[in-house]
Structure 1
Amino acid sequence: MALPTAQPAEILRAWQKDDLYEKQLAGSLAKLLPSHHASKAIPTSSVLYKSLTTLRDLQTLGEEYSGIVQVDDTYHKLPSFSNRLLSILLSTFGENITRHILRQIERQVEQNVSLKPEAQNFFLVILRALGNMVPQIESIHRALSYINGGPLQISKTATGINYVHVRPAASAFYAHLRLLSIVTLLHAFISCGQSVYQAKKHLEQMADFPNEVDSSKSCAACLEEIVQPCVLQCGHYFCMQCCYGALESCALCRTPFTKNTVVPLMNYCPSVK
């Protein structure tokens, strides 16, 4: 006889418990690691915790507390080793991988000389908006799981992992989960709307900039008045802070440059003609 599908409230309770244990483990690891490696404590603790439980076909502490077990999409067997491993990697590094892919696409767009500057700006703004929406996509998936059931993590949904009860579940109706799902969806959609609005606003600002900066007092990278102007190989001017900061290509013509090719203009003032 097939085991009953786990209720959303039990899955949420298990996820909250596991998240608490992972954070406690990360706090202990952070004390052991050097200060410049402290940021690695969170992903390390996540991989370590899941490797000692899920990867070994064991319940996590949260799953044991809630009385649920991971199963594959047939609901009759435990997930395969490859699916469990892929789920762990995606849950730990999925967001960073997604952002890395988006940055790689951005670089390809910046270096594509066949695209017009207007088209490049459009694609870059859209890609950056998508990067800002990554956490909201996970929130939307979690909110839908509150209503329809299933795992809260996209990584488990992508690898076909679900949950069943191994002991009788509480019969109470968890109406607060529906309210939580509505609030979560509203917050996610508002955040996505803000990202789209900011992207559109940035696109309009970029469209207002002329191709030649000689006639402008503003820096096309930070949109502020040029301070300590520098010139790039392409002939466009920017702030020194922008040139030696995160900027890797000209914000106007998308020509790549290296920091050692930036030329500071000590006696040049863009406001004086």
Structure 2
Amino acid sequence: MALPTAQPAEVLRAWQKDDLYEKQLAESLSKLMSSRYASKATPLSSVIYRSLTTLKDLQTLGEEYSGIVQVDESYHKLPTYCSRLISILLSTFGENITRQIIQSAEKQVERNATLTSEAQNVILVILKTLGNIMPQIQNIHRGIAYMNGGPMQIGKTLTGIDYVHVRPAAAAYYAHLRLLGVVTLLHAFVSCGQTLYRSKKHLEQMRETPNEVDSNKSCVACLEEIVHPCVLPCGHIFCLNCSYGALESCALCRTPFTKNSVVPLMNYYPE
């Protein structure tokens, strides 16, 4: 007889427990590591925790607490070792790898001399938009899990991993989780809509005034509100993080610049 599919509340409870244990492990690891590598403690703790449980065909502490077990798409077998390994890597490094790919694509576009300035602007805005909506994609997936069940991590969903109960669960209608799922989805869709709208406005602005100083309150490079404005040698204004970050040429006119040529603007606020 097939085991019942795990209810959303049990999956959520297991995920919260595991997240707590991973954070505690990361905190302990950070104390043993030098400050230079302290930022690596979080992904390292996740890999260690999952390697000692999921990869060993064992329940995690959260799964044991909630009485659920990972299964494949047939709901009769444990996931294959390969599926479990890929799900761990995707859950731990998936977002960072995707962001690195986007940043690498942005640099390739900026250095591509065969593209027109308008084409470069369009592609760069699209790439920036993809980077900005990535957290909302996770929230959309989580909202669906609140409502319909299934794993909280996109990595597990992509590899076909789900959960079943291995001990009787109390029958209950989790109306609050459905409501939470609806609210999460609405917030994620609204945030995505705002990001897309800002991107559309930036594209329109760059088509109309591609070589004028940007007087908008939003930074063309990151599409966020300008914080600590800085002016480049070409005269265009961007936020501090973009000016001293990954930006190597002006996002408006494509003029290359060096970091020591960036001038922070004190007591200046775009209008």
Indicate whether the TM-score tops 0.5. Answer: yes
Cα distance between partner residues in 2 of 1:35 and 1:29: 11
**SS in structure 2 of the partner of residue 126 of structure 1:** helix
Structure 1 residues 31-70: Cα deviation after superposition (integer angstroms, max 9, x where no partner)? 1111222111111111111111001110000000000000
Q: How does 1:120-131 map to 2 (within 5 A)?
A: 120-131=120-131
Contact 1:145 / 1:152 at 8 angstroms: preserved in 2? Answer: yes
Give the counterpart letter for 2:185 in structure 1. Answer: L
Cα distance between partner residues in 1 of 2:230 and 2:158: 48
1:37 maps to which residue?
37
Q: Which is further off, 180-189 or 113-122?
A: 113-122
Cα distance between partner residues in 1 of 2:87 and 2:138: 15
Q: Which is further off, 241-250 or 181-190?
A: 241-250
Q: How does 1:206-225 map to 2 (within 5 A)?
A: 206-211=206-211
CA displacement at 1:187 relative to structure 2: 1.1
Give the counterpart letter for 1:51 in structure 2. Answer: S
CA displacement at 1:106 relative to structure 2: 1.6
1:199 maps to which residue?
199
Contact 2:214 / 2:236 at 8 angstroms: preserved in 1? Answer: no
2:103 maps to which residue?
103
Structure 1 residues 138-161: Cα deviation after superposition (integer angstroms, max 9, x where no partner)? 110111112222111110010111
Cα distance between partner residues in 2 of 1:156 and 1:217: 43
After superposition, the Cα gap between the structure-2 partners of 1:218 and 1:245, relative to the gap in structure 1 and judged at 3 Å, is: farther
- With normalisation by structure 2, the TM-score equals 0.83
Q: Computing the radius of gyration over CA atoms, which structure comes out larger, 1 or 2?
A: 1
Q: Give 5+ residue unaligned stretches, structure 2.
A: 264-271
CA displacement at 1:19 relative to structure 2: 0.6
Overall identity of the aligned pairs, in %: 68
CA displacement at 1:247 relative to structure 2: 2.4
Q: How does 1:85-164 map to 2 (within 5 A)?
A: 85-164=85-164
CA displacement at 1:243 relative to structure 2: 6.4
1:58 maps to which residue?
58
Give the counterpart letter for 1:170 in structure 2. Answer: A
1:269 maps to which residue?
none
Q: Which is further off, 106-115 or 70-79?
A: 106-115
- With normalisation by structure 1, the TM-score equals 0.82
The RMSD of aligned alpha carbons is 2.9
Contact 2:30 / 2:41 at 8 angstroms: preserved in 1? Answer: yes
Aligned length in residues: 254
After superposition, the Cα gap between the structure-2 partners of 1:199 and 1:221, relative to the gap in structure 1 and judged at 3 Å, is: closer
1:185 maps to which residue?
185
2:268 maps to which residue?
none
After superposition, the Cα gap between the structure-2 partners of 1:100 and 1:227, relative to the gap in structure 1 and judged at 3 Å, is: closer
Contact 1:221 / 1:238 at 8 angstroms: preserved in 2? Answer: no
